[in-house]
Amino acid sequence: MAETEQPAGPPETLVDPIDMSSLDRNFRDEIKSMPNGDELSACFACTTCTAACPIANQWNYKPHQLIRMIILGMRDEVLSSKEIWECLTCFQCQERCPQKVRVTDIFFDTKNLAAEEGKIPENIIGLGRALLEDGQLYTVTADWEREDMDLEPEVPGLSTDAIKEILKDTRTGRIAGGDE
Amino acid sequence: MSRVPTYNLYMGCSVPANYPNYETSMLKVAEALGMELEYMEGVACCGSPNLRAIDYFGWLVVNARTLAIAEQNGHDIVTPCNGCFGSLKDVHHFLKHNIEHREKVNKELKKMNLEFKGTITPRHFIEALYTDIGIEEIKKKVTNPLDGVGIAIHYGCHLLRPADVTEMKPDVFDHLVEATGAKVIEYPLWKQCCGATVLPVNEPLAIRLARDKIKSMKESGAEYTTVCCPACGNQLDLQQLGLKESYGEVYNLPVLLYPQILALAMGMSEEDVGLEMNRVSADSILEHLSG
């Protein structure tokens, strides 16, 4: 599968061994108990997900490897990976999985676990902060443009308080709130 | 259909802030076709896939709240944004099938005197147009059909996938574009993501995805492209302007929001659809209208 350049001669090891002492055997059950994670163990590593992924060739860990790493218990490697945050959430992998493993949904679960441990890219925390402080991701700046098009200057019906109120008490409030 | 179909209109935050031309052309097309769209009151931003990534439970509650508000008058939700559609539809599907989480979410909603029951369906505007009005009725209103000009369609990932959640067929948009007299241009990368979601963590990768998509459309003979999502629109239209600097390439492929095309084919003016707001100039589309 891996099409990286092969050095001349036989490789030093045929398979890089995993450090078994660092495996977290409960990781698979943790993921299986999360939303849409229950089919995790059905994966037989056919690599269809990786073939479907438009950016897998940019990744050190391919989608099928990430799933395998979860099953093996490589918790730290998965939760610290850049790959889970670069997932486009295009659902091409999940859509084609012959075993009905909800690959994209499972990557969402891993991001939630990483977030709980504070392993979140700064810009994503920024989006959480925008939701907490502004109650929306995009704010109308050119109301004259809306009026020119026969629209009300402000977005009709949008409540910014509702989302602020909900998210201050959930994980978003803990990781992106300004209380500390 | 004797009764005028009425919908709860959920705008989200991106279309109103960045694409008033999408909003106004959608409202005008809906009115002309006898769809009653009523702005929802007191609803929150969907949070986008980014909220789902960091705070699954918060994302469930925020979107279940929107669904519960719509249940009060019993009308389906329609939205012009794939991101909002993806969030609302996924939460709806998940809570319908997961009693444990539904109870947890409803405990939160009860504090707001709301309850999620799953009695209405969140839908994308173009699907409602296709299913409830129908291609035949739409064609009857097309007075100035396009002259067969080639348009490539970008559906957007969250409109189509995962199919068991979205319940969308990947031909709805094709039929809608053909109804305006345009020719649908097939291209190899039609399923590929626009790159919007990866923008906050890897901007060059996001731009590369958009560029490959635009290139694939152009090389397949498309003169225009059309989208039904503000995030995809941003990637293909606004980012296209930056390709001159980053890739030394100029594609000059105008990006139209679907209701703009339909409105023009129904005889509305370029002012009606806010054509001057399109970043890559789309004015030439007017030359392809007959009548």
What is the residue-wise DSSP string for B34-80? T-EEEEPSSBPP--HHHHHHH-HHHHHHHHHHHHHHHHTTTPPEEES
Q: Average pLDDT for residues A148-154, to the nearest whole number?
A: 90
> Above 80 in pLDDT, residue A12?
no
Which amino acid does the sequence have at B225? T
State which residue of chain B sits closest to A172, comparing Cα positions.
B55
pLDDT for B249-278, tens place per residue? 999 999 999 999 999 999 999 999 999 999
- Residues B58, B194: one domain? no
Say if CB A69 and CB A77 are below 8 A apart: yes
- Chain B residues in contact with A124 (beta carbon < 8 A): 50, 53-54, 200-201
Nearest Cα to B129, choosing from B271, B223, B263, B20? B263
Is B184 domain-assigned? yes
Nearest Cα to B109, choosing from B64, B73, B149? B64
Q: How sure is the predictor about B208, in pLDDT bands with cuts at 50, 70 and 90?
A: very high
- Residues B148, B280: one domain? yes
pTM of the model: 0.95
Alpha-carbon dihedral angle through residues B84, B88, B89, B95, given to the nearest 10 degrees: 160
Say if CB B133 and CB B89 are below 8 A apart: no
pLDDT of residue B97: 97
Furthest CA-CA distance within chain A: 71
Helix axes A122-133, A160-167, angle to 10 degrees: 120
pLDDT of residue B3: 66
- Residues B161, B258: one domain? yes
Task: Determine the 3-state secondary structure of A120 from DSSP.
Answer: coil
Is B135 domain-assigned? no
Residue numbers of B between 110 and 169 with CB closer than 8 Å to A:
157-158, 161-163
Q: Average pLDDT for residues A59-80, to the nearest whole number?
A: 98
Number of domains comprising chain B = 2
Q: How sure is the predictor about A13, in pLDDT bands with cuts at 50, 70 and 90?
A: confident
> Above 80 in pLDDT, residue A180?
no
Which of these three, B124, B157, B185, is where a domain ends? Answer: B124
pLDDT for B55-72, tens place per residue? 999 999 999 999 999 999
Residue A58 sits at the vertex; the CA angle it makes with A56 and A60, to the nearest 5 degrees, is 85
Question: Hey, is the C-beta of B44 within 8 angstroms of any chain A C-beta?
Answer: yes
Higher pLDDT, B81 or B4: B81
- Residues B48, B146: one domain? no
Nearest Cα to B166, choosing from B127, B192, B132? B127
* Nearest CB neighbour to A135, from listed B45, B158, B161: B45
Say if CB B195 and CB B210 are below 8 A apart: yes
Token pair 């009860």: residue: B110
Higher pLDDT, A58 or B1: A58
Q: Average pLDDT for residues B197-219, to the nearest whole number?
A: 97
* Nearest CB neighbour to A135, from listed B44, B192, B197: B44
CATH topology (fold) of A23-116: Fumarate Reductase Iron-sulfur Protein; Chain B, domain 2 (1.10.1060)
Tell me what the pLDDT averaged over chain B comes to: 97
Nearest Cα to A165, choosing from B54, B47, B62? B62
CATH value at residue B203? 3.40.50.11810
List, edge to edge, every strand of the sheet that includes B6-9: B36-39, B6-9, B77-79, B122-124
- Alpha-helix runs per DSSP H in chain A: 27-32, 48-52, 63-72, 75-79, 83-86, 92-96, 103-116, 122-133, 143-148, 160-167, 171-176
- Chain B residues in contact with A151 (beta carbon < 8 A): 16, 20, 23-24
- Chain A residues in contact with B61 (beta carbon < 8 A): 166, 170
- Residues B223, B275: one domain? yes
Q: How sure is the predictor about A16, in pLDDT bands with cuts at 50, 70 and 90?
A: confident
pLDDT of residue A10: 75
pLDDT of residue B65: 98
Chain-chain contact of A171 with B193 (C-beta, under 8 angstroms): no
State which residue of chain B sits closest to A142, comparing Cα positions.
B17
- Residues B147, B191: one domain? yes
Q: Average pLDDT for residues B181-207, to the nearest whole number?
A: 97
pLDDT of residue A103: 98
Taking only Cα atoms into account, the Rg of chain A, rounded to an integer number of angstroms, comes to 21
- Residues B203, B161: one domain? yes
Q: How sure is the predictor about A154, in pLDDT bands with cuts at 50, 70 and 90?
A: confident
CB pairs under 8 A between A and B: 183
- Residues B156, B273: one domain? yes
pLDDT of residue A4: 60
Provide the residue range defining the domain that includes B257. Answer: 141-288
Nearest Cα to B71, choosing from B52, B99, B95, B45? B95
* Nearest CB neighbour to B58, from listed A55, A138, A167: A167
Nearest Cα to B62, choosing from B6, B127, B114? B114
pLDDT of residue A3: 55
Cα–Cα distance measured from residue A112 to residue B239, given in angstroms and rounded to the nearest whole number: 30
Task: Domain ranges for chain A, please list them.
Answer: 23-116, 122-175
pLDDT of residue A18: 86
Which of these three, B92, B124, B156, is where a domain ends? Answer: B124
> Above 80 in pLDDT, residue A11?
no
- Residues B211, B74: one domain? no
Which of these three, B98, B124, B150, is where a domain ends? Answer: B124
Nearest Cα to A101, choosing from A168, A151, A166, A50? A50
Q: How many residues does this entry show for chain B?
A: 291
Alpha-carbon dihedral angle through residues B203, B205, B206, B211, given to the nearest 10 degrees: 120
Cα–Cα distance measured from residue A84 to residue B258, given in angstroms and rounded to the nearest whole number: 32
Chain-chain contact of B51 with A172 (C-beta, under 8 angstroms): yes
> Above 70 in pLDDT, residue B244?
yes
Mutation site, A159, A161, A174, interface B, largest B CB count within 10 A: A159
Q: How many residues does this entry show for chain A?
A: 180
> Above 90 in pLDDT, residue A17?
no
pLDDT of residue A7: 65
- Residues B270, B145: one domain? yes
pLDDT of residue B1: 45
Percentage of the residues of chain A whose pLDDT score is greater than 70: 95
Token pair 């009115």: residue: B31
Q: How sure is the predictor about B193, in pLDDT bands with cuts at 50, 70 and 90?
A: very high
> Above 70 in pLDDT, residue A106?
yes
Query: Tokens for B230?
Result: 């503000």
Say if CB B125 and CB B35 are below 8 A apart: no
- Residues B114, B187: one domain? no
> Above 50 in pLDDT, residue B2?
no
- Residues B68, B173: one domain? no
How many CA within 13 A on the CB side of residue A166? 34
pLDDT of residue A141: 87
- Chain B residues in contact with A110 (beta carbon < 8 A): none
- Chain B residues in contact with A121 (beta carbon < 8 A): 200-201
Distance of CA A47 to the CA centre of its chain: 19
* Range with the poorest average pLDDT among A136-140, B149-153, B185-189, B209-213: A136-140
Parallel, antiparallel, or unpaired for β B255-257 and B224-227? parallel
Chain-chain contact of B61 with A170 (C-beta, under 8 angstroms): yes
> Above 60 in pLDDT, residue A150?
yes
